């Protein structure tokens, strides 16, 4: 088939790769000249394992990119534009979605299957996307098929995860199931557009709530002088109820905004889900809390902090900065007058500078810093030889957010070790010359 994908961000980019690999001709559309230029040269602007190889092989063949859809030629038009939330009000912005729907109505025909892939408040596909299609064509084939992949595994999960599809009517649903059944191992048809919209939101809001409880435990153990990982391990061991999650930062393009999209749709229908709002607030507060703890633990003389890991997560590895903890930590460090050194194996030096950090290599981090804050659990950080890096180093505090380092090799050098919810008293160790 000829398939148009509107919006070449993370969702559109990975879906383009999956569909091209399955043999379809994909026309990618984006409003950014820089994105189009990069993709036209077969070079994706976003890191995702396997995507660059697909674009290198298929660009100019099964993958074409431009600022507009080719008129009246695509069998399917898939809307993958961003639906950001306002940083102040947390209201979702649906202007990109409305513009994409108008673009499809202008360039496609009543026979085109239109797919909403963007994450939206419940009711949006019917209320925002459908009207311009009906105004232009009189009838439409419309489905909602939410994206549910995770960074670092997207091409695998597009095939392996069940693809949920809700249709405007039976004909739309059948066409949507056939489309996704062409490359996914399993498709799940649901009764309506709205059901499919809520599936995506329920997935991500549930995840946010699960993570928030682990963080709640950590905030409590910090006050009680206990170890959250010990508590959680003993709680979960051979206990036949849902496991408690390890404490950790919760970011990314989905978890940092989808709860607000859920809340907006629910409030519009007369209900404000208290658990979802409380979980999101706690998870957003955690990086600020850690930044303040690191600042206080560095006092009174620490002036330089090395931050390891600027992407929002390290497992699977990604360079994605959406919802990254460092964004809300930096104002705390700036107010305290700290110099912040930055290192990340995937995030570019330009991005680190844009966030207020000074990009350096690992050796400089340990040679110049008074304290080290590990934010992201990138695999290569697990392999660090801390005893060697700390030899002759001015570092006196290592805050290991994910507890992936060997504390004995750190405290053995006379350096204090701490982590999320875990701040044991410093051990005085006589370090030989």
Nearest to 313 by CA among 333, 287, 339: 287
Nearest to 54 by CA among 16, 27, 108: 16
Q: Please tell me whether residues 231 and 365 are part of one structural domain.
A: yes
Q: Please tell me whether residues 180 and 200 are part of one structural domain.
A: no
Distances (CA, A) of 432 to 120, 220, 379, 392, 396: 60, 37, 31, 11, 16
For 250, the domain range is: 192-433
Say what the pLDDT of residue 427 is.
65
Predicted confidence (pLDDT) per residue in 225-275, tens digit: 999 999 999 999 999 999 999 999 999 989 999 999 999 999 999 999 999
* Residues in the chain with pLDDT values less than 50: 429-433
222, 421 in Cβ contact below 8 A?
A: yes
Nearest to 217 by CA among 207, 206, 226, 205: 226
**How many domains, the chain?**
2
Q: Please tell me whether residues 227 and 365 are part of one structural domain.
A: yes
Of the candidates 147, 163, 191, which is a domain's last residue?
191
Q: Please tell me whether residues 154 and 210 are part of one structural domain.
A: no
Cis peptide before 300 (omega within 30 of 0): yes
Of the candidates 137, 163, 191, which is a domain's last residue?
191
52, 187 in Cβ contact below 8 A?
A: no
Q: CA–CA separation, 61 vs 3, rounded Å?
A: 13
- Whether this prediction's pTM lies above 0.95 is answered by no
Beta strands 358-359 and 141-144: pairing type? Answer: unpaired
Say what the pLDDT of residue 425 is.
87
Q: Please tell me whether residues 321 and 271 are part of one structural domain.
A: yes
Say what the pLDDT of residue 203 is.
97
Q: CA–CA separation, 339 vs 348, rounded Å?
A: 19
Distances (CA, A) of 77 to 15, 69, 226: 12, 9, 54
Say what the pLDDT of residue 433 is.
38
Q: Please tell me whether residues 120 and 234 are part of one structural domain.
A: no
Of the candidates 163, 191, 219, which is a domain's last residue?
191
Say what the pLDDT of residue 376 is.
97
Say what the pLDDT of residue 72 is.
87
């Amino acid at each position: 088939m000829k398939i148009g994908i509107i919006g070449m961000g993370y969702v559109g980019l990975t879906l383009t790769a999956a569909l091209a690999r399955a043999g379809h001709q994909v026309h990618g559309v984006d409003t950014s000249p820089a994105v189009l230029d990069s993709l036209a040269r077969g070079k994706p602007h976003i890191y995702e394992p396997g995507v660059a190889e697909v674009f290198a092989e298929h660009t100019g063949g099964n993958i074409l990119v431009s600022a507009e859809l080719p008129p009246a030629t695509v069998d399917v038009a898939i809307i993958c534009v961003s639906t950001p939330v306002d940083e102040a009000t947390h209201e979702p912005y649906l202007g990109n979605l409305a513009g994409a729907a108008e673009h499809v109505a202008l360039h496609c025909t009543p026979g085109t299957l239109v797919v909403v892939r963007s994450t939206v408040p419940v009711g949006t596909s019917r209320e925002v996307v459908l009207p311009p299609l009906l105004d232009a064509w009189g009838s439409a084939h419309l489905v909602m098929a939410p994206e549910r992949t995770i960074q670092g595994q997207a091409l695998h999960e597009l095939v392996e995860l069940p693809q949920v599809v809700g249709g405007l009517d039976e004909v739309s649903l059948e066409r949507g199931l056939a489309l996704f059944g062409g490359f996914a191992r399993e498709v799940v048809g649901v009764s309506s557009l709205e059901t499919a919209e809520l599936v995506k939101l329920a997935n991500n809001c549930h995840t946010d709530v699960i993570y928030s409880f682990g963080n709640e435990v950590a905030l409590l153990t910090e006050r009680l002088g206990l170890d959250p990982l010990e508590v959680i391990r003993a709680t979960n061991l051979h206990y036949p109820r849902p496991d408690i999650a390890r404490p950790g930062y919760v970011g990314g393009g989905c978890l940092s905004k989808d709860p607000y999209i859920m809340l907006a749709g629910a409030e519009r229908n007369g209900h404000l889900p208290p658990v979802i709002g409380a979980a999101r607030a706690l998870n957003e507060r955690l990086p600020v809390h850690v930044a303040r703890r690191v600042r206080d633990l560095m006092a009174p003389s620490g002036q330089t902090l090395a931050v390891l890991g600027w992407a929002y997560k390290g497992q699977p590895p990604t360079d994605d900065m959406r919802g990254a903890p460092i964004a809300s930590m930096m104002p705390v460090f700036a107010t305290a007058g700290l110099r912040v050194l930055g290192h990340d194996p995937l995030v570019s030096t330009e991005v680190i500078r844009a966030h207020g950090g000074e990009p350096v290599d690992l050796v400089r981090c340990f040679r110049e810093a008074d304290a080290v804050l590990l934010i992201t659990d990138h695999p290569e950080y697990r392999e660090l030889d801390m005893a060697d890096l700390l030899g002759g180093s001015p570092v006196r505090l290592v805050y290991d957010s994910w507890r992936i380092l060997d504390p004995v090799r750190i405290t053995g050098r006379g350096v204090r070790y701490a982590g999320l919810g875990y701040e044991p008293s410093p051990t005085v160790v006589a370090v030989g010359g």
